[in-house]
Amino acid sequence: MTGRIAFQGEPGAYSHQACHEARPDMEALPCKTFEDVIDAVRKGHADLAMLPVENSTYGRVADIHRLMPESGLHIVDEAFVRVHINLLGVKGARLEDIRTAQSHTVLLGQCRAFLREHSIDAITGADTAGSAMHIAQMGDPQHAALASELAGEIYGLDVLARHIEDHDKNTTRFLVMARKPDLKRRGPSGMMTSFVFRVRNIPAALYKAMGGFATNGVNMTKLESYMVDGSFSATQFYADIEGHPDDHNVRLALEELDYFTSHVKLLGVYPADPKRH
């Protein structure tokens, strides 16, 4: 293996699956919190961090946009991971005998139709992989977990039903972060640039700041606002755009953005994941 990649959660979590898919040659390092993931890379215990930023069904992952700008790390890649949810039971368990299914509340909400159809009660667990570990430790054939197939392999559980999620396009976007940026690469599917900014306190500042991207033909794929330091009057914006800062049109758009902002911080320049398109 070449290096370590840190993720939040127990072994078998969907972030662990993302590490396997995006960096199969690296050792995955589980961490308790997102802050621990960032610290592991900052302190040299891991080379990369795998952080979930948004889900196609449930939107933005809480706290990530607050943590990234102050992390001291740089985005070097993105990864889109299809979230397949499976019903996992102990060896010998049968679907018709299952009475409860335990998982993170988000996953339970994504499998309502299946659970209702099979008269299975939902039990809230701390996380997906932790629920799978708990079910394995219980050893009761009437209780199951909702988690990834990877979690089933790690904790010795059988897959009693595959891909039971209500929505067949449920996908989570992850960002891979490192201690040093890499601005020289060019991806076959294009490049992405991510940054945060605060607009100057003048009328229509945000409208004017965005104008440069429109007039220069730069596609902005994401723009989100969030409070800074708990203040209702201090707002920071997070943005993803297509292109590289060295591209002529992107350079012009960023120059115009700089004129109408009081703070701009580049978070990363990285190849677009082919699954984005």
Query: What is the C-alpha separation between 174 and 226, in angstroms, rounded?
Result: 19
Q: Say which residues have a Cβ less than 8 Å from residue 57's Cβ, sequence separation at least 6.
A: 110, 167, 170
How far is residue 249's CA from residue 245's CA, in Å, rounded to a whole number?
A: 8
| Residue with the two structure tokens 């890649």 | 77
Question: Which amino acid belongs to residue 17?
Answer: Q
* Residue 225 phi, psi dihedral angles, 5° rounding: -115, 150
Put residue 15 in one of left, alpha, beta given phi > 0 → left and psi -120 to 50 → alpha. Answer: alpha
Report strand pairing: 121-124 vs 100-103. parallel
Q: State the pairing for strand pair 27-31/4-8.
A: parallel
Q: How far apart are CA 206 and CA 200, in angstroms?
A: 8
DSSP strand E in 182-247: where? 191-199, 220-228, 231-242
Distance CA(264)–CA(212), nearest Å, equals 15
Q: Which of 53, 34, 104, 80 is nearest to 226 (CA)?
A: 53
Q: Among candidates 47, 30, 46, 39, which has minimal Cα distance to 70?
A: 39
**Which are the catalytic amino acids?**
172, 174
